[in-house]
Amino acid sequence: MEQQKDLSDIRNNLYGKAENLWWMSLYIAIGTLFLSLIAVWADFTIVGFMAIASPIVITWLREMAADTTNKADKCRRIILYADGLGQEIPKHELANIYAWGMGGSIDKAPFVSPYYSSKLNAGPNRLADIVTESSFFTYQLVDRVNFRLKVIFCLSIIMIVGLLYTSDIFVKHLNQESVLSIFSKSAAILIAFLISGDFFLLIKKYSDIRTIAKESFDKCVRMRDDVNLKEIEILQTVEEYNIAIIQGPPIPFRFYLKYKDELNEIYRTSHKQSA
């Protein structure tokens, strides 16, 4: 058990690093947006260099984040299958994971003991039970993340409409066509960022994660009570869930810290009632 707790700490540390790299890339994208707006208003020539450099840096950071996420997810899946199916973790896999944790201090992963609330014995039904719990957390947290992103998106649209309306006032009442050009360019930059940039894509990807996590939750709820459940059946559902998690953007860790106690209480109370 101590061994698996160590793996949880390494997994948590790797996910933290991946999240920091991923959000850093998003901050650079947003920073480039603001520099573009400054360039429109103040003829800031350095934005040309930033426009060339930022995609390279963003791609590099995303690749590093993806590599670190793959390592963290390997830890998560090893812990999941070891706990759910009672599989022994191969020593060579442990060696790799412990090597990933080298080079710095590893903080203890925050969790409510026991990590999974399932009381079932190791086997397909226990795996279904703990993935039910995991997918419940995933789609609930993603719901909250996506709601905030949609609010920001709506505020951005209001800002764009405001820019266009203001530019119209300048032309009609003040006859300032140069100001119209500046406001129109600013609105165009914001529109391009929202539609083709990271922001709109974030909403889409989080929505996809939420959908698959909810589907996995519903499937696993049925499977955990199926006395004839075969291992291959639950493994297919679990891998679909795993793929969705690893391909999507990170769920901000602060959301987990904020809601973990409340979600644990909700899930474990309902879990006892359905047992």
* Per-residue pLDDT tens over the stretch 9-29: 888 889 989 999 988 887 887
pLDDT computed for residue 2 by the predictor: 45
Q: Token pair of 94, please?
A: 């442990």
DSSP per position, 12-26: HHHHHHHHHHHHHHH
DSSP per position, the chain: -HHHHHHHHHHHHHHHHHHHHHHHHHHHHHHHHHHHHHHHHH--THHHHHHHHHHHHHHHHHHHHHHHHHHHHHHHHHHHHHHHH-PPPPHHHHHHHHHHT-SS--PPPP--SSSS---SPSSHHHHHHHHHHHHHHHHHHHHHHHHHHHHHHHHHHHHHHHHHHHHHHHHHHH--HHHHHHHHHHHHHHHHHHHHSHHHHHHHHHHHHHHHHHHHHHHHHHHTT-TT--HHHHHHHHHHHHHHHHHSPPPPHHHHHHHHHHHHHHHHHHHHHH-
d(CA 174, CA 158): 23
pLDDT computed for residue 256 by the predictor: 87
pLDDT computed for residue 274 by the predictor: 56
pLDDT computed for residue 1 by the predictor: 40
pLDDT computed for residue 32 by the predictor: 72
Q: Is 233 exposed, middle or buried (0-12, 13-18, 19+ CB in 10 A)?
A: middle
Per the listing, tokens 């690749």 go with 63
- What sign results for the dihedral spanned by CA atoms 9, 14, 15, 17? positive
pLDDT computed for residue 37 by the predictor: 61
Low-confidence ranges of the chain (pLDDT < 50): 1-2, 196
CA 157 to chain centre: 24
Query: Does pTM top 0.75 for this prediction?
Result: yes
d(CA 262, CA 275): 20
pLDDT computed for residue 188 by the predictor: 56
Q: Which residues contact 251 (CB under 8 A, 6 or more apart)?
A: 138, 141, 142, 145, 209
